[in-house]
Chains A and B, each alone.
Chain A
Amino acid sequence: MKRTPLFDVHQQLGAKLIEFGGWEMPVYYSGIVAEHLAVRQAAGLFDISHMGEVFVRGLGAAAFLNYILTNDVGRLRPGQGQYSLMCKPSGGVVDDLYVYCLAPEEFLLVVNAARIRADVAWLQEQCSQRPDPRQVRVEDASEQWGAIAVQGPASCRFIEVCCEGRSDRGTAVSVATELKKNEVAGFRFRGEEVFVARTGYTGEDGFEVVAPAGLLAPLWTALLEAGRPFGAQPAGLGARDTLRTEVCYPLYGHELDENTTPLEAGLGFFVALEKGDFIGRSALIAQKEAGVSRKLAAFKMIERSAPPRPQYAIWKAGADGMRVGVVTSGTQSPSLGIGIGLGYVATECAAPGTRVEIEIRGRRAAAEVVRKPIYRKAD
């Protein structure tokens, strides 16, 4: 199993470690619920160094990425990022990722840990088929770079500890808290460049800090020490999963794979069909015109039951109910105190308010399809 540069730090913090996508990662430190609530109410620090960092550079980088990714890279100015998907010609998803424009000819992709190899192979294969492949350079820097996510409403109160002075790349700001959602900037930490982006995977305000591997341990310590007085605590993959499930963010391997399209996953907003040709476009246009036969739905349990889990069957409610789908993610919601989940269901059962049943160890428990996100912050 692979270990991130923060492995020793996790052990010192008493983390419970598990295998995730080939990596030995903390699932929790104090407990999933406590860490989840800390992120909703104060802040949490996540080691996301298992994720991949891929730089795409060159004169042709922007045009190449716009052909590879579903969202419109043409809308990105230096210092801006966007959520995007990378599809096969069939429309099936190779990966979902964040793409940041660092400079007109330099982009950073942050990709899923378990997909690094598949993504880099796909990017290189596509690159080699370009009319002039020398105009695009794909560099997998996943071993040399890592990242820490700082998430939660209190993040703004201590994020500047990782930034020495003004940004010198990307969005021009004097402090990281001036970044707007999806903006990115290069700062210095101990003299080396780190990228701070205002984004995350929890539904809370927060930042992701991408840094050279050797800086991660001092960066983590600096952030945690600065954040403790504001209620920040280390948080593991367990809380990361419950947080993203509450706000219905997809997880590759659960909601997304090569046999699932972004339209089925409800991610049409991130598919710019009008931007010009890109891989998967004609299949996605055809699917949009024909209508999807299944859709990713969010649901809440409406009777007391064990929490829903991936692979559980979803049935239409009622005596004549048919099997209409399958759960892809499910848990007990720490914020709401009930079972929640995501799953693919026949399109006619995907409307909020539809009564369904989740089969849990042979027994069916009542649930209701709800609007996404399942959890919404009180304003």
Chain B
Amino acid sequence: MANVPSDLKYAKSHEWVRVAGDVATVGITDHAQHELTDIVFVELPEPGRQVAAGQSCAVVESVKTASDIYSPVSGEILEVNPELAGNPGLVNKEPYAGGWFFKVKMTRPAEVETLLSPEQYLAQIGPN
């Protein structure tokens, strides 16, 4: 059963969002890391870049394939996780902690309300 923490919001495309004030921290869900399996490389956006909700702004590479990661919210990339360059496997080990991808200073914080609740995300991924 995939871990879906109750204090986060989720995008249909399997990113999670943790909100603190107007800053959103973004990563990929436990379900997503499990589906992708062994993550070997993460390409992150440049800090300062403006992103729109739903825009592709990172790439996660598993042994098998490359997958786009979308920003669930609009705003400016404040910071990216420096640990992932040397240790991309953190995304597999700690998808909700050490494996975070980037932080966005939100320009439209109301967008968070349009994201999925943990219950809705659980319903989307189904029982497995």
Give the B-binding residues of A (Cβ under 8 A). 16, 27-28, 31-33, 36, 238, 241-242, 304-307, 309, 331-332, 334, 361
Residues in A with CB closer than 8 Å to B41 are: 305-307, 332
Tell me if A242 and B85 are in contact (CB < 8 A): no
- B63: contacting residue among A33, A304, A305, CB under 8 A: A33
- B61: contacting residue among A36, A242, A332, CB under 8 A: A332
Please name the residue on chain B nearest to A27 by beta carbon: B64
Residues in A with CB closer than 8 Å to B63 are: 32-33, 36, 238, 242, 307, 331-332, 334
Nearest-Cβ distance from residue B55 to partner chain A, whole angstroms:
15
Tell me if B61 and A361 are in contact (CB < 8 A): no
With an 8 Å Cβ cutoff, the count of chain B residues facing the other chain is: 14
Tell me if B38 and A33 are in contact (CB < 8 A): yes
Tell me if A306 and B37 are in contact (CB < 8 A): no
Give the A-binding residues of B (Cβ under 8 A). 35, 37-38, 40-41, 43, 59, 61-66, 85
Per the bound structure, the CA–CA distance linking A342 and B63 in Å amounts to 15
Residues in B with CB closer than 8 Å to A305 are: 41
Dominant secondary structure at the A interface:
mixed
**22 A-B pairs with C-beta separation under 8 A:** A16-B35, A28-B37, A31-B37, A31-B38, A32-B38, A33-B37, A33-B38, A238-B37, A238-B63, A238-B64, A304-B85, A305-B41, A306-B59, A306-B61, A307-B41, A309-B65, A309-B66, A331-B64, A332-B41, A332-B61, A332-B63, A361-B43
Per the bound structure, the CA–CA distance linking A36 and B63 in Å amounts to 11
Please name the residue on chain B nearest to A338 by beta carbon: B40
A-B interface, 8 closest residue pairs, ranked by CB to CB distance from nearest:
A332-B40, A33-B38, A306-B41, A31-B37, A32-B63, A306-B61, A332-B63, A238-B64
Tell me if A307 and B61 are in contact (CB < 8 A): yes
Nearest-Cβ distance from residue A302 to partner chain B, whole angstroms:
15
